[in-house]
Amino acid sequence: MKELTLQVEGMSCNHCVAAIEKALMKLDAEGKVDLASKKVDVRYDEAKTSVEEIKEAIEDQGYDVQ
């Protein structure tokens, strides 16, 4: 398992948290969103996904990954 912290703009409420966590789950990754710091901690398996796919999954939900 690898870990990664992303800075993400546009997350405003618990619905946003759920949307991002669900999108990461589809990549078999685990996300922990902190709204206050606008950070998403991600644990993922390099054999199953990549940083690029993770960023894309979050952007597809309508957020900007910095």
Residues listed for the chain: 66
Per-residue DSSP letter, 39: E
* Count of residues that interact with a second copy, criterion CB under 8 A: 9
Cα of first residue to Cα of last residue in the chain, in angstroms, is: 23
Q: Which of 5, 7, 12, 50 binds a second copy (CB under 8 A)?
A: 12
- Using the contact rule CB under 8 A, the part of the chain among 8-16, 21-29, 39-47, 49-57 near a second copy is 8-16
Residue 58 in tokens: 């979050």
The SS3 assignment for 9 reads strand
Residue 16 binds to a second copy (criterion: CB under 8 A): yes
- Using the contact rule CB under 8 A, the part of the chain among 13-21, 23-31, 40-48, 50-58 near a second copy is 13-21
